[in-house]
Structure 1
Amino acid sequence: MSTSSDTSVQPGTALLQFLSSQRVWVASGLILLVLAVFDTEQAIESTVFASTALIGIAPFLIFSIAIAAYANATGADNLIAKAFVGAPAMMIIMGALAGGLSPFCSCGVIPLVAALLTMGVPLSAVMAFWLASPIMDPSMFFLTSGVLGFEFAVAKTFAAIGLGLFGGTVIHLLSRGGHLSDPLRDGVGNGGCGGAKMRAPKPVVWSFWVEKERRRTFAKVSLDTTLFLAKWLELAFILESLMLAWVPAETVTKALGGSGIGPILTATFVGVPAYLNGYAALPLVSGLIEQGMSLGAGLAFLVAGGVTSIPAAMAVWALAKPRVFALYIGFSLSGAFMAGLFYQLWTIV
C-alpha cells in the first residue's frame, strides 16, 4: 500500500502568487477601479492621460527596447570586461563610462560586481561603475529624451558619469591609506552569469540574426522589456495624472521650485523614499516640473532615487561590508545634490 501527498497548489495560493507576480498591473487596475467608483470623471481623465502619454513616447520606447534586446542578443554587454584593465585612474574613468553607458540593470550588476571585486579589481573602479550604472543606460537615455527632453537626458548622463568619477576617486584616495582593504562580506564569491562574462568574455556577434539562439534571445528580451516598461510607465502616468489633478501647483512650487539650494536639497532626500523605478520616475518628475519643480531639483531627485533604489542599494549591501555601503549612500546623496546644483546653475546662466 502506498501513500501519496497532495502537492498540488491550492486555487487561493495560485491566485495570490499570480497577483503578486503582476502587482504593478494590479495596482494600476485597482487605482482606476477605485477612481471609477468614487470619481468617474477622474478615472476617464487618468485613462486618457496615460494612454496618450504612452502613445506620445512610443517611438522612444520602441527604440530603447530595440537597444536593450540588441545588446543582449549580440553579446555586446561582454565588452564590459575590457573596461577594467590598466592604471587605477584609467580604470576609474572606464568604470564610470561603462556604468553610465552600459545596458546593465541594477539586478544584473550584482554578480558582475562580485566577480570584479573577488578577482582583485580595485574597489575604486568598481565603485565608479556601481554608482553610475543605476542612473543611466542607452534605453534610459532615449526614454528620458522622450519624457523630459534631450538636454535633460544629456545632463543625467553627465551626472551618472560624474558621480562615478567622484566616488571612484574618493575611494582610491581612501584605499591608498589602507582604510578599505577587504571590502567584501565574508562568503561572497565570484559566481553568477555576470561573473562568467567577466572571467571569460565571449566574442560579440553583431549580426545576431544569423544564429537561431540569438534570435530567440532578441525576441525574449524584446518581449520582457516591453512588458516591464509598459507596466511601470502605465502606473507612473496614472500617478502623474492624479498628481497634476490633486496636488496644487503652488505647493510644489513652494517646496521644490525656485533656483536656490533648498529645493535641490529637499529633492535629493525626497528622492530616496519616493523613487519607484527608473522608468516610472520619469513621468512623475515631468509632472512635478510642470507643477513648478526646478530642473536642478528634478535631476537631483532622479539621481538620488536611482542610486539608492532598493535593487541598487541591496546589491551593495549584499556584497560589501557596512562601511562600503555607508560610503555608497554618502556618495549617492552628495553627488545627487551637486549634480542638481550644477545643472540648475547651467539652466540659469
Structure 2
Amino acid sequence: MADTELIERREPRLPERLKTVWAVTALVLLAVALLDPPQLRPTVEFSLSALGRTAPYIVFAVILIAGLKATGSETLVSRAFQGREVQAIFMAAVFGGLAPFCSCQVIPFIAALIVAGAPLSAIMAFWLASPLIDPPTLLITAAALGWPFAIGKAVAAVGLGLMGGFVVRALTHAGHLSNVSRQKAGCGSCCSSAPKAEARPVWRFWQEADRRATFRGELLGNGMFLLKWLALAYVLEALLITYIPAEAVADVVGGEGVVPIVISAFVGMPAYLNSYVAPPLLAGLTEQGMTAGAAMAFMVAGAVSSVPAMAAVWALVVRRVFALYIALGIGGAILSGVLFQLAV
C-alpha cells in the first residue's frame, strides 16, 4: 500500500494519543470552532460530503488490499525481474503499478532483490514505479481529482519506471554503477509489512486460520487508516478553499510556465503525504489556482520518496545510486508535470 504501518500494535499513552491523526483532525476543528465559529458547520458538512462520495472507493480498496495481503499475491511482482534485462525493465515498470508499496515499504523488497543479484536497471524501474500507483490509489485519485488525472498518474508511473530503468542500464553498461549495496536497510515500522520476494501466493486463504486473521486485520486496519487520513485530508481541503486566497496559490504554483511545476516537484518530494491524503489536498489547491501540471509534479515527487524513505535508501545503497534515485524522482516528476500540463 502507498504509505505507513496501518495497524497500531499497542495501546498508545496519552501523549501519543494527542499525536494521532484523529486528534489532529479534532484539534483542527476545535481551532475553527474557537477562531471562526460560523465556519465550523460548513467545514464539517464539506468533509462528510466528500467522505460520502469517496466511500465506495474506500470499501473496494480495503477489500482489495486485504485480499492481496491474505493471499500473498503481491509477491507476484518478483516475476518481473526474471528474463532478459530489457524485458525485465518493462515488466518491472508495469508490475510496479500493481504492487501496493509506499516509498518506504518498497525498501526491504529492493534490498532483497539487490542481494539476490537482480539487475539494478529492473530494480530501479520497479523502485520508481511502485510507490506511484496501485489499484486502490488509482481509485482514490480518480475520486478526488477525476479519471484523467488518475490515468495520467498511472502513465507517469510506468513512464518514470521505464526512464529510470534504461538510464540505469546505460550507466551500468558504461561502468559507472558498481558495488551498489552498502548495508542492510531499515526504515522503521512501515517497512515491516513488505513481502518476501520468494514467497508464493495462496489463493484459497480462507482455508488457513492465519490468513483469515490477516484478512480481517488488514480489512479493519486499512479501513480505519483510509478513513482517518481522508477525514483529515478533507478537513484540510475545506480550510484550504476557505482561508487560502486563490491569488496566493496562483502566485506560487499558478501560471502556465515550467517554474511552478519545478517548485511543486521540489516541495513534494520531502513532504510525507501518502497517496490517499495528497489527492484531496491537491483538489483543494487546484481550485485555488494550482495548475494541473504542478499538481501532477507534486504528487509524483511526493509518492516516489519522502524523508523517511530517503533515510532508508541512504543506508541501503552507495551515494551514487542514492543521488541517481533522487535525481530520477525529481526529474521524472517535473517531466510528468510538463507533459500532463500540455495534455490537459
Shift of 1:272: 2.8
CA pair 270-186 structure 1, distance change in 2 beyond 3 A: closer
Using the aligned pairs only, state the percent identity: 47
CA pair 110-302 structure 1, distance change in 2 beyond 3 A: same
Name the TM-score, length of structure 2 as normaliser.
Answer: 0.89
Q: Which residue of 2 aligns with 1:318?
A: 315
Out of 184, 199, 202, the residue aligned to residue 201 of structure 1 is 199
Q: Which residue of 2 aligns with 1:7?
A: none
CA pair 221-245 structure 1, distance change in 2 beyond 3 A: same
8 Å contact kept, 2:74–2:195? no
Q: Is residue 47 of structure 2 the alignment partner of residue 45 of structure 1?
A: no
CA pair 284-197 structure 1, distance change in 2 beyond 3 A: same
8 Å contact kept, 1:236–1:284? yes
Q: Is residue 26 of structure 2 the alignment partner of residue 15 of structure 1?
A: no
Q: Which has the higher contact order (CA 8 A, sep 6+)?
A: 2
In structure 1, runs of 5+ residues without a counterpart are 1-12
Q: Which residue of 1 aligns with 2:301?
A: 304
Q: Which residue of 2 aligns with 1:80?
A: 77
Rounded Cα–Cα distance in structure 1 between residues aligned with 2:279 and 2:309: 17
Q: Which residue of 2 aligns with 1:266?
A: 263
Name the TM-score, length of structure 1 as normaliser.
Answer: 0.88
Rounded Cα–Cα distance in structure 1 between residues aligned with 2:106 and 2:336: 23
CA RMSD of aligned residues (A): 2.1
Shift of 1:109: 1.5
SS at match of 1:107: coil
Out of 125, 140, 147, the residue aligned to residue 143 of structure 1 is 140
Q: Which residue of 2 aligns with 1:91?
A: 88
Q: Which residue of 1 aligns with 2:9?
A: none
Query: Matches of residues 1-349 of structure 1 in structure 2 within 5 Å?
Result: 14-20=13-19, 23-186=20-183, 197-198=196-197, 200-202=198-200, 204-347=201-344
Q: What are the superposed Cα offsets for residues 292-332 of structure 1, whole Å, 9 maximum, x if unpaired?
A: 22211111110011112234333322311222111111001
Rounded Cα–Cα distance in structure 1 between residues aligned with 2:309 and 2:194: 17
Q: What are the superposed Cα offsets for residues 213-272 of structure 1, whole Å, 9 maximum, x if unpaired?
A: 322211111111111111211111111111111111122233323332222222222223
8 Å contact kept, 1:73–1:208? yes
Residue 53 of structure 1 aligns to which amino acid in structure 2?
Answer: A
Aligned residues: 329
Rounded Cα–Cα distance in structure 2 between residues aligned with 1:100 and 1:313: 21
SS at match of 1:57: helix
SS at match of 2:42: helix
CA pair 17-271 structure 1, distance change in 2 beyond 3 A: closer
- Which one has the bigger helix percentage? 1
In structure 2, runs of 5+ residues without a counterpart are 1-11
8 Å contact kept, 1:115–1:195? no
Residue 201 of structure 1 aligns to which amino acid in structure 2?
Answer: A
8 Å contact kept, 1:300–1:336? yes
8 Å contact kept, 1:252–1:291? yes
Rounded Cα–Cα distance in structure 1 between residues aligned with 2:321 and 2:192: 24
Q: Report which of the two structures shows the higher radius of gyration computed on alpha carbons.
A: 1
Residue 318 of structure 1 aligns to which amino acid in structure 2?
Answer: A
